[in-house]
Amino acid sequence: MNQVPGNLFILAAPSGGGKSSLIKALLDKYTDGSMQLSVSLTTRAMRPGEEDGKHYHFVSQKEFKQQIEQGTLFEWAEVFGNYYGTSKTVIEHTLQQGIDVFLDIDWQGARQVKAQLPDTHSIFIAPPSRDELRRRLTGRGQDSAEVIENRMASARSEIEHFDEFDFILVNDSFEQALHNLESIVLAQRCRQQRQVIRHQTLFSELLAE
């Protein structure tokens, strides 16, 4: 059986859409190492409880800007004075090992990645309603009313770009959304060109005269 490169998946959603929870649940289900979440680079300071290489790869602004100049990032953005990005080298190496990779990025990052790798599969996760989105943001009990309003405004800006994605999941029922996400991932693994590579010997035997 030949080694088949992994699939690259982009997952985007407004804050409160449930994206992180869905990714975690899927990774918890598949513990065989066949899929993983990409760890982004950032120049922001490490927060209590975070680990370098697990939550982010923490680098200096000088190091980050060098990677921009060298073209080794799939995508990057500056947010409130801090830089965030995805290493092209790390992603390509992981895919070559046959591992599926999830990118947790916004629509702008999705555009940058798709421009370089058109075969990337992009998934947008939407809340079932504005009221439910507000309830989820409020239910966290972590943000002030002002912050929640800012998040709601940002959510609208994110949702405006839903039609740029290949797949759309409405996260009304978490279990159903997780099932749909898993189905998308497994379906991509079964695509014809991938199966031909994976089972080249088998098909040669089946078609032998």
pLDDT at 47: 86
pLDDT at 2: 66
Residue type, 35: M
Tell me if 37 sits within 8 A of 27, measured CB to CB. Answer: yes
Rg of the chain (C-alpha set): 19
- For 33: left if phi > 0, alpha if psi spans -120 to 50, otherwise beta; the answer is left
DSSP string, 155-197: HHHHHTTGGGSSEEEE-SSHHHHHHHHHHHHHHHHT-HHHHHH
Q: Are strands 73-79 and 82-87 parallel, antiparallel or unpaired?
A: antiparallel
pLDDT at 126: 96
pLDDT, tens digit, for every residue of 146-192? Answer: 888 888 998 999 999 999 999 999 999 999 999 999 999 999 999 98
The structure tokens listed for 131 are: 């009221």
pLDDT, tens digit, for every residue of 47-72? Answer: 888 899 888 999 999 999 999 999 99
Average pLDDT over residues 115-135: 94
pLDDT at 143: 75
Angle formed by the axes of helices 145-159 and 130-139, to 10°? 140
Tell me if 86 sits within 8 A of 74, measured CB to CB. Answer: yes
Angle subtended at Cα 103 by Cα 19 and Cα 172, rounded to the nearest 5 degrees: 20
pLDDT at 140: 73
Mean pLDDT, rounded, of the chain: 92
Of the candidates 13, 37, 31, 178, the one whose C-alpha atom is nearest the C-alpha of residue 101 is 37
Binned at pLDDT 50, 70 and 90, residue 1 comes out as: low
> Domains in the chain, start-ordered, CATH in brackets?
8-38+99-206 (3.40.50.300)
Of the candidates 176, 179, 181, the one whose C-alpha atom is nearest the C-alpha of residue 165 is 181
pLDDT at 187: 96
pLDDT at 207: 95
Residue type, 99: I
pLDDT at 193: 87
pLDDT, tens digit, for every residue of 75-113? Answer: 998 887 899 999 998 899 999 999 999 999 999 999 999
